[in-house]
Amino acid sequence: MENREIAAIFGQIADILELKEENPFRIRSYRRVEEALGNVGFNISRTILEDPDKLRGIPGVGEATFRKILELVETGACEEHRQLLSEVPESLLTLLELQNLGPKKIALFWKQLGITTLEGLEEAATSHRLRTLSGMGEKSEAKILQAINEFRRREGRIRLDRAVETAQSFLDYLKDNAMLDRLAVAGSVRRRQETIGDIDILVSSDQPPDVIEAFVRHPSVKEVLAQGGTKGSIVVGRGIHVDLRVVSDDSFGAALQYFTGSKQHNVALRERAKRLGYKISEYGLFDLGTGAQVAGHQEEDIYSRLELEFIPPELRENQGEIAKAEHHQIPNLIELGDFKGDLHMHTTDSDGRNSLEEMVEAGQRAGYEFIAITDHSKALAMIGGLNEEELVSQIQNVRAVRKSFPDIEVLTGIEVDILADGTLDMQDEVLEMVDVVIASIHSRFSLTRKEMTARICKALQNPSVNILAHPTGRLILRRERYDVDLEEVARCASENRVCLEINAYPARLDLNDAHSRMVRDMGVLLSINSDAHSISMLDYMSYGVDTARRGWLESDDVINTYTKNRLDKVLRKETYR
DNA sequence: GCCGTTTTCGGCCCGACTGTTTTCAGTCG
């Protein structure tokens, strides 16, 4: 059982307990378990048998939880979970994913109107039956209908990080359980698109049926949709399709190219091939005259035969990359290896899971030359945001910690909230004391476009602000971005020598690929940061890099790749681009 | 359900916003 699956069961237990209006503290403790298990850096199924104390040591995991995990690992299910599922219609749990709808209202709809499905809820809202309930009115019905629409739009898609995890588990499994030559993930996962409809895996092997047979027996398979001689298609989790294609090794490169897409990129490539006297398919590149295969073993050869520079998968969207490749002008895309530091992370002083010392140590282990500690400000009272006094005291702590870690520069910082009127949630004198000021929005998302733009631009004019974090506020597959004129924000940013962030947190990736490219072209400098809330989340940086690469960014566009010296000049606003 | 220089019971991050109300319940972060 994958960590994610185990964690999800605890999440579902919490959901059902909420619908049943059980003790909120018990529910919270299940949520804590869900979060903790989702973030551990080792395989739970293996560890619980080999080193059970490691699991018992996770904060939030007590004896009862430990026993449930053991039951799950040993039997694949858990009695309490099964029992709870029998008390509540499963379709009710889907309704919890709707915005602005929580357990109380869902339970009310269920008990008063017998609503258990999305369709039932939609019907009740459309026919104005919801407003007959106390606390419900016209606006609530409209909001629910909107939430249903938004939910439908994202249904069947998953976030990139989840898809990468699932794909990796299939790759590891196939390596161990099938006779094969090469294997790779293709499709939108390889192109690092931010959401994924289905996962494509490509294998080369002499024994396709055996590979397919192993594939459909992967332990997470919920349903086998197709099992043929060279193709298999299965469903995992909640409706996510994984497709496997097996080819001979001489076709692997061509198949990788073909199944990586995108469709539009391939159409353009096919036209070019035809013009040059070739035919291209998933089996190879063939000479139209002789019919001989001229490329196919290696993906690179396909491009070079077509007189093109190799095009990184992230650029294959038919957005001008083929013309650039023709003239050998493919950008030298930024890589994780270019990074010298991470400028946005949290500690236990606000809502992080690890202490200042632990974060610094992890930053050093990650090979960084510098990191910035940027906890939340007091507007986020619920998660213990810092007030002026607490920030000053954290600055002292950072100075003290520097002595123990001579190999990494630890910058002081704050992620300060932009209040509704565009002022910052921290006195200017205190903001002036820290090395990095990140400004960001965490509340009042529904201002008008004009108000929101003015609010953000006002914040950017504060001379202490260095970075605007997650500039659009969207949460992938969960919350739409707020309405803001990003071009105007980009202009304000460059005028005030502020960097815009690509927040690498997998649920955010904000700015996204297209926006990153747009603001860079407008002369804006970017910063890519993990926004880590624990040491393991420092690894999220790679998703930010994926986004930046899709946005055609090079290392010079991103201050995290600068030397400490050059970075300091940008932070002090002595230079910009 | 978890946790404990408050230690085996009794606590457990809280403030703002929205839409419904006319003083509040539900949701979110």
pLDDT of residue A199: 94
Each residue's pLDDT tens digit in chain A (577 positions)? Answer: 888 889 999 999 999 999 998 888 899 899 989 988 887 878 899 999 998 888 888 888 999 999 999 999 999 999 999 999 999 998 999 999 998 899 999 999 999 999 999 999 999 999 999 999 988 999 999 999 999 998 888 888 889 999 999 999 999 999 999 899 999 999 999 999 999 988 999 999 999 999 999 999 998 888 888 888 888 999 887 778 899 999 999 999 999 999 999 988 998 898 899 889 999 999 999 998 888 899 999 999 999 999 999 999 999 998 889 999 999 999 999 999 999 999 999 999 998 889 999 999 999 999 999 999 999 999 988 788 999 999 999 999 999 999 999 999 999 999 999 999 999 999 999 999 999 999 999 999 989 899 999 999 999 999 999 999 999 999 998 888 999 999 999 999 999 999 999 999 999 999 999 999 999 999 999 999 999 999 989 999 999 999 999 999 999 999 999 999 999 999 999 999 8
* Separation between the CA of A386 and the C1’ of B2 (whole angstroms): 26
3-class state of residue A133 by DSSP = coil
Token pair in block for residue A359: 């974060």
Nearest nucleotide over every DNA/RNA strand to the A104 CA, judged by C1': B26
* Separation between the CA of A187 and the C1’ of B17 (whole angstroms): 42
Q: Could you identify the residue whose CA is nearest to the C1' atom of nucleotide B16?
A: A443
pTM of the model: 0.86
pLDDT of residue A446: 85
Nearest nucleotide over every DNA/RNA strand to the A445 CA, judged by C1': B17
Nearest nucleotide over every DNA/RNA strand to the A62 CA, judged by C1': B2
Residue A384 approaches strand B within 7 Å at CB = yes
Q: Could you identify the residue whose CA is nearest to the C1' atom of nucleotide B3?
A: A60
Nearest nucleotide over every DNA/RNA strand to the A31 CA, judged by C1': B1
Positions in chain B where some atom is under 7 Å from a protein CB: 1-3, 11-21, 25-29
* Separation between the CA of A307 and the C1’ of B21 (whole angstroms): 70
- Write down which residues 151-170 in A have CB closer than 7 A to strand B: none
Token pair in block for residue A75: 């039997």
Question: What is the C-alpha to C-alpha distance for residues A90 and A131, in angstroms, rounded to an integer?
Answer: 25
3-class state of residue A212 by DSSP = helix
Token pair in block for residue A514: 């297209």
pLDDT of residue A368: 98
3-class state of residue A233 by DSSP = strand
Residue A382 approaches strand B within 7 Å at CB = yes
pLDDT of residue A36: 85
Residue A134 approaches strand B within 7 Å at CB = yes
- Write down which residues 34-53 in A have CB closer than 7 A to strand B: none
Token pair in block for residue A149: 């629409």
Question: What is the C-alpha to C-alpha distance for residues A40 and A47, in angstroms, rounded to an integer?
Answer: 11
Q: Nearest-CA neighbor of A142 among A129, A157, A158, A125?
A: A125
Burial class of A364 by CB neighbour count within 10 A (0 to 12, 13 to 18, 19+)? middle
C-alpha distances out from residue A220 to A206, A350, A371, Å: 25, 37, 38
pLDDT of residue A545: 98
Contacts of A127 (CB under 8 A, 6+ apart): none
Residue A26 approaches strand B within 7 Å at CB = yes
Residue A125 approaches strand B within 7 Å at CB = no
Question: What is the C-alpha to C-alpha distance for residues A313 and A226, in angstroms, rounded to an integer?
Answer: 27
Contacts of A123 (CB under 8 A, 6+ apart): none
3-class state of residue A243 by DSSP = strand
Q: Could you identify the residue whose CA is nearest to the C1' atom of nucleotide B20?
A: A135
3-class state of residue A279 by DSSP = strand
> What are the backbone dihedrals phi and psi of residue A192, each rounded to the nearest 5 degrees, phi first?
65, 40
* Separation between the CA of A382 and the C1’ of B24 (whole angstroms): 21
Are the beta carbons of A296 and A284 closer than 8 angstroms?
Answer: yes
Nearest nucleotide over every DNA/RNA strand to the A384 CA, judged by C1': B13
pLDDT of residue A222: 84
Residue A57 approaches strand B within 7 Å at CB = no
Tell me the Ramachandran region of residue A465: left when phi exceeds 0, alpha when psi lies from -120 to 50, beta otherwise: beta
Question: What is the C-alpha to C-alpha distance for residues A385 and A374, in angstroms, rounded to an integer?
Answer: 11
Contacts of A556 (CB under 8 A, 6+ apart): none
Task: Kindly state the percentage of chain A with pLDDT values over 70.
Answer: 100
pLDDT of residue A347: 94
Nearest nucleotide over every DNA/RNA strand to the A24 CA, judged by C1': B12
Q: Could you identify the residue whose CA is nearest to the C1' atom of nucleotide B1?
A: A26
3-class state of residue A496 by DSSP = coil
Burial class of A159 by CB neighbour count within 10 A (0 to 12, 13 to 18, 19+)? buried
Question: A529-545: per-residue pLDDT in tens?
Answer: 999 999 989 999 999 99
> What are the backbone dihedrals phi and psi of residue A501, each rounded to the nearest 5 degrees, phi first?
-95, 145
- Write down which residues 409-438 in A have CB closer than 7 A to strand B: 420
The Cα angle at residue A552 between residues A547 and A556, in degrees rounded to 5: 100
The Cα angle at residue A305 between residues A301 and A309, in degrees rounded to 5: 75
pLDDT of residue A427: 94
Residue A135 approaches strand B within 7 Å at CB = yes
